[in-house]
Amino acid sequence: MPLYEYRCRHCQRKVTLYLRAFSQSPPSCPQCGNDTLQRLFSAFSVRKTDSGIYEDILSDSQLTKGMLNNDPRALAEWNKRMSRGEAVAPEYEEMIDRMEGGEMPAEPAGTGTGESAEETH
């Protein structure tokens, strides 16, 4: 099924929806439930293979240097290239935004600190 992009006139959120055909009327906004979605013009793209993406990343010396130095901005760029512009969860977008701002994501609780769960209480 094709992907169509819409903007909700009520909450202004941009959404991408799978519809069987363009002539099918769009459903309600998944964010606010309003039925005022306006279709956006969207371009198509030709995807690179995984090896093509890896080659691009590895040929970018500044990006690879940043990744080797654990630069959160480089990790954010790597993630964006690997996700190929596909929709991601809002939590993932938030994490990428924070990394682009230079903040390294926190480690999950109980990992990397050398403390056990009993020691943290």
First-residue to last-residue Cα distance in the chain:
51
The length of the chain is 121
Q: Which amino acid is at 120?
A: T
14-18 and 37-39 strand pairing = unpaired
Is this model's pTM higher than 0.75 or not? no
In angstroms, the CA 79 to CA 51 distance is: 15
- Per-position pLDDT tens, the chain of length 121: 467 788 888 998 888 877 766 666 777 888 888 888 888 876 665 666 777 777 887 888 898 898 889 899 998 888 888 877 777 778 888 888 889 999 887 755 444 444 444 444 4
Q: Delimit the domains of the chain by residue range.
A: 3-39, 50-100
Q: CB–CB of 26/6 below 8 Å?
A: yes
